Structure 1
Amino acid sequence: METLDLDLLRTLVTIAGQKSFAAAAVQLGRTQSAITLQMQRLEDRIGHALFEKQGRQKQLTDKGQRLLGYARHILAIHDEALRNLQQRQVQGLVRIGAPHDAADNMLPPVLQEIMLNFPGMQVAVHVGRSPFLMESLKQGELDLAISNREDPGYEGFVLRSSPTVWLCGANYAHDPAKPIPLVLADGPSIFSRVGCDALDAAGIAWSKRHMCTSLVGIRASLRAGLGVTARGVEQLDPGLRVLGKGDGMPQLPDLVYRLYVRSHVVSPITRQVFENLKVRMHQPGAAQAPMRA
């Protein structure tokens, strides 16, 4: 049975990441002609063209895109196996915080990544409000924190971008002719701010219908049909529905979630965990672009 050369697959992934044969050559420390020859060898092995010209540029064919997905998966497994077998087991404690709206969907992959690469680590998880998590990070009570707040005072990287939507109960009777009854968080909340700002900018009247101290309270109020709130789309479930432009509601901005590390990290273990997560989970959100030959 024929096998795929890992070196060729790594070159393919590098070309896709760098969007250029020339940039991939610099990244890999090879000549551009050597990179081209490698891709010709890979095409011969696969039996299909992996690139096609688009003007002066090249882009991946359908077969190339399919192979790229497999290549990333194969290399991830290979690199993880090699790393775990070669490295000494790192032990210690890392304290990580996450807001309530990210605890169910964004936190588990982070925890899984830590356990895969640092099986000897202990992890202490704290779930709370985003502004308070950042304060805990500042005070040194947390080592890492997921937050939808942009804070240039801390080192961090993008985990994901999440659409913000208007949520209400499945049986909520929406009347755009009346002031929008809002269900809001009691205290500082970026969702409350962007929601109220969007309504004000659109000239839509609103009122504070209910104030809740937690996301659980907000969701309960929505399910009871007490009002509307701005929240991440991840909170949508069968008991809730989304209001949109057809309902007279203004569009809301996406929110970017980042993983921050506390300033002046003393522990090399915390730094090692953060750098590993940065390499493995950073999502720049760049769109697929044609590659330059």
Structure 2
Amino acid sequence: MPTLDLELLRSFAAVVSHHSFAAAAVHLGRTQSAITQQMQRLEEQVGHALFAKQGRQKRLTEHGERLLTYAHHLLALNDEALRSLRQGELEGNLRIGAPHDVAETMLPLLLTEVARTSPLLQLDIHIGRSPYLMTSLKSGEVDMIISNRADPQFDGVVLRNSPTVWLCAASYVHDPSKPVPLIMADGPSIFRRIGHEALDAAGVAWTPRYTSSSLIGIKAALRAGLGVTARGVEQLDAGLRVLGAGDGMPRLPDLAYYLYVRSHVVNPVTRQVFETLKKHLRLPRTDMPA
């Protein structure tokens, strides 16, 4: 059995709604002769005349009237199917913020999932420190952030719980009898806070040795053997090692990393991506090295 051509049906419906071949041609961006040829092809498909002359005008025949009803149903069904299938193909811009600590670990996994589920989105990536990223999220400068700070004012979901460890250079010689030389971030830092709290609670003396505004600066000081820092285990690499209880260092708490958006966000792109990530993104836990 022949198949009705939806393109021909759309032109047919346009001819009827605009009351002439010429007006339909203008509406569809085609020539009048092209519309005429399409109607001839459609008549060949159905095997009946669809139009009859009435003076200088054309009117629908009985078969034309019947076909018009089916045309409206088929075109509506086609358009509904396309809208449904394209709902996941979000378009627009999404601004994502992440701290330096996860820029090479969690962030790539998140971006992979966003690109897989919404390939048409343009992504703007902002790398910075968690306190400033949270301020940017609150002010609307970014749409979504990864952060290791719990904050109930945002809508959030835990991406991963990650161990915090004491890191030093692989060649660093630790002397438990001396105050621990600390390498820490300046300004607000959750790692600095939990490091100080753990040392104070354990009665371990410490001294500030080096501060930096960036993770790059902290790792440079570590590799230079200037001291010890508290950081996520994700930062451990071949040039660093972990200090533990055997070195007289107290245990540090795990940190949760959250994905946040503003509460009651109405931007459909932000909301749909966030809800999709909540359902599908599960980041593996990074365990302590053996």
Q: TM-score, normalising length from structure 1?
A: 0.67
State the structure with bigger RCO (CA 8 A, min sep 6), 1 or 2: 1
Residue 175 of structure 1 is matched in structure 2 by 175
Give yes or no for the alignment of 1:89 onto 2:89: yes
Residue 152 of structure 1 is matched in structure 2 by 152
Mapped contact 1:183–1:228 kept (Cα < 8 A) = yes
Distance 1:164 1:252 in 2: 6
Mapped contact 2:114–2:273 kept (Cα < 8 A) = yes
Mapped contact 1:93–1:121 kept (Cα < 8 A) = yes
Q: Which runs of 5 or more structure 1 residues have no equivalent in the other structure?
A: 1-83, 286-293
Distance 1:88 1:104 in 2: 27
Mapped contact 2:88–2:118 kept (Cα < 8 A) = no
Q: What secondary structure, in the 3-state scheme, does the structure 1 residue paired with 2:172 have?
A: coil
Give yes or no for the alignment of 1:252 onto 2:220: no
Q: What secondary structure, in the 3-state scheme, does the structure 1 residue paired with 2:207 have?
A: strand
Q: TM-score, normalising length from structure 2?
A: 0.67
Aligned 1:259-270 pairs, distance under 5 A: 259-270=259-270
Residue 236 of structure 2 is matched in structure 1 by 236
Residue 189 of structure 1 is matched in structure 2 by 189
Give CA-to-partner distance per residue, 1:154-213, whole Å, 9 cap, x none. Answer: 111010010000000111110000000000101110000000000000001000000111
Root-mean-square deviation over aligned CA pairs: 1.7
Distance 2:212 2:182 in 1: 11
Give yes or no for the alignment of 1:162 onto 2:162: yes
Cα offset, 1:262, TM superposition: 1.8
Mapped contact 2:183–2:209 kept (Cα < 8 A) = yes
Q: What secondary structure, in the 3-state scheme, does the structure 2 residue paired with 1:115 have?
A: helix
Residue 107 of structure 1 is matched in structure 2 by 107
Give CA-to-partner distance per residue, 1:93-130, whole Å, 9 cap, x none. Answer: 11000000011100011111111010110110000000
Q: 1:85 to 1:109 in 2, by over 3 A?
A: farther
Residue 134 of structure 2 is matched in structure 1 by 134
Cα offset, 1:282, TM superposition: 4.8
Distance 1:249 1:257 in 2: 24
Residue 117 of structure 2 is matched in structure 1 by 117
Distance 1:180 1:88 in 2: 53
Q: 1:174 to 1:88 in 2, by over 3 A?
A: closer
Aligned 1:40-119 pairs, distance under 5 A: 87=87, 89-119=89-119
AA aligned opposite 2:146: I
Cα offset, 1:88, TM superposition: 5.5
Cα offset, 1:264, TM superposition: 3.7
Q: 1:182 to 1:284 in 2, by over 3 A?
A: closer
Mapped contact 2:183–2:210 kept (Cα < 8 A) = yes
Mapped contact 1:157–1:278 kept (Cα < 8 A) = yes
Q: What secondary structure, in the 3-state scheme, does the structure 2 residue paired with 1:159 have?
A: strand
Distance 2:87 2:155 in 1: 26
Distance 2:88 2:261 in 1: 23
Residue 279 of structure 1 is matched in structure 2 by 279
Cα offset, 1:281, TM superposition: 1.5
Mapped contact 1:158–1:283 kept (Cα < 8 A) = no
AA aligned opposite 1:181: P
AA aligned opposite 1:162: S
Distance 2:280 2:126 in 1: 22
Cα offset, 1:266, TM superposition: 2.6
Distance 2:282 2:221 in 1: 35
Q: What secondary structure, in the 3-state scheme, does the structure 2 residue paired with 1:204 have?
A: coil
Distance 1:283 1:96 in 2: 17
Q: 1:90 to 1:173 in 2, by over 3 A?
A: same
AA aligned opposite 1:255: L
Mapped contact 1:142–1:262 kept (Cα < 8 A) = no
Mapped contact 2:106–2:283 kept (Cα < 8 A) = no
Give CA-to-partner distance per residue, 1:198-247, whole Å, 9 cap, x none. Answer: 00000010000001110000000000000000000000011100000000
Cα offset, 1:89, TM superposition: 2.4
AA aligned opposite 2:278: K
Distance 1:147 1:250 in 2: 24
Residue 65 of structure 1 is matched in structure 2 by none
Residue 58 of structure 1 is matched in structure 2 by none
Give yes or no for the alignment of 1:224 onto 2:224: yes
Distance 2:255 2:176 in 1: 25
